[in-house]
Amino acid sequence: MSDQYRRDAAPDGRDESEQERADRHFDELLQELRVAQTGVQILFAFLLTLPFTQRFGILGDGQRAAYLTTLLLAAVATVCLIAPVNHHRILFHRDRKSDFVAAASRLALAGLSSLWLAIVGAVYLVIDVVVGTPAAVAVGAGLATAFVAVWYLLPMAQHARRTGQAASLARPRKPVDEPHEIRSAD
């Protein structure tokens, strides 16, 4: 029996072949990326229109720096969150789904990190313009803390509580195609 069809119980108890596991991970990742892509595209589009508004001209140097930083973070998030689509097109039918899923997962984490930083930057900029810098710093710091707590610390704590092991943002276990390669039927 070929290795691609070998069935092993996954750590979550699922009885699936390595190829089925890679397919499931890919499908789950696509669903996650769809949500994140929508958010980053709306934020990026909004940021791209700001310089063409009347009030943009009154921004101070610090506000312009915050705007440019936020715009670049949104651009990086866009690159990282859309890149897996292009990778899939290039690697399609090349028997590299596990490698693709691992790389796409890392890109998703990089994109999500850039996205939350861009959101914090956008909120900081709006509050700085409307209320002032001290309030913007306080709200920005609070929002950044909330993102880190909810997006990173909470899932890592849930993992540690369930497994008794500290979690990290690194790949949780070796890719499904090691030590042998999976041959896709595609």
pLDDT tens for each residue of the chain, 186 residues long: 444 444 455 555 677 777 788 778 888 888 888 888 888 999 999 999 999 999 899 999 999 999 999 999 999 999 999 988 887 777 777 777 777 888 888 999 999 999 999 999 999 999 999 999 999 999 999 999 999 999 999 988 888 888 777 666 655 555 444 433 444 444
3-state SS of the chain: helix, strand, coil percent to 5? 75, 5, 20
Residue 180, domain member (yes or no) = no
Q: Which tokens is 23 given?
A: 């397919």
pTM of the model: 0.76
Structural domain boundaries enclosing 67: 16-163
pLDDT of residue 164: 73
| Distance (Å, whole) CA 24 – CA 11 | 14
| Distance (Å) of CA 107 to CA 6, 84, 142 | 29, 7, 26
Burial degree of 75 (CB within 10 A; 0-12, 13-18, 19+): middle
Q: How many domains does the chain have?
A: 1
Residue 170, domain member (yes or no) = no
Residue 176, domain member (yes or no) = no
165 Ramachandran zone, left/alpha/beta (phi>0; psi -120 to 50): beta
Q: Which of 4, 177, 8, 2 is nearest to 96 (CA)?
A: 177
